[in-house]
Amino acid sequence: MSMMISLSMTISMILFLLTHPLSLGLALLIQTTLSSLLIAFISPSSWYSYMLFIVMIGGMMVLFIYMTSIASNEKFLMNTTIIILATSTMVITLIMLTKMNFAPPMNKSSFNEELLVNLFNKWWSNPLNLTSSFLFMYLLMAMIATIKITSFNNGPLRQLN
The confidence band for 107, taking pLDDT boundaries of 50, 70 and 90, is low
Q: What is the mean pLDDT of residues 112-121?
A: 62
| Interval 147-156: pLDDT, tens | 777 766 655 5
The DSSP element (H or E) to which 38 belongs, if any, is helix 21-42
Is the pTM higher than 0.85? The answer reads no
CB atoms within 10 A of CB 79: 13
Q: How many residues does the chain have?
A: 161
The confidence band for 91, taking pLDDT boundaries of 50, 70 and 90, is confident
**Least confidently predicted of 51-55, 86-90, 154-158:** 154-158
Rg, C-alpha atoms of the chain: 21
| Interval 95-105: pLDDT, tens | 776 776 655 55
Contact yes or no for 15/27 (Cβ under 8 A):
yes
Q: What is the Cα–Cα distance from 92 to 81, expressed in whole angstroms?
A: 16
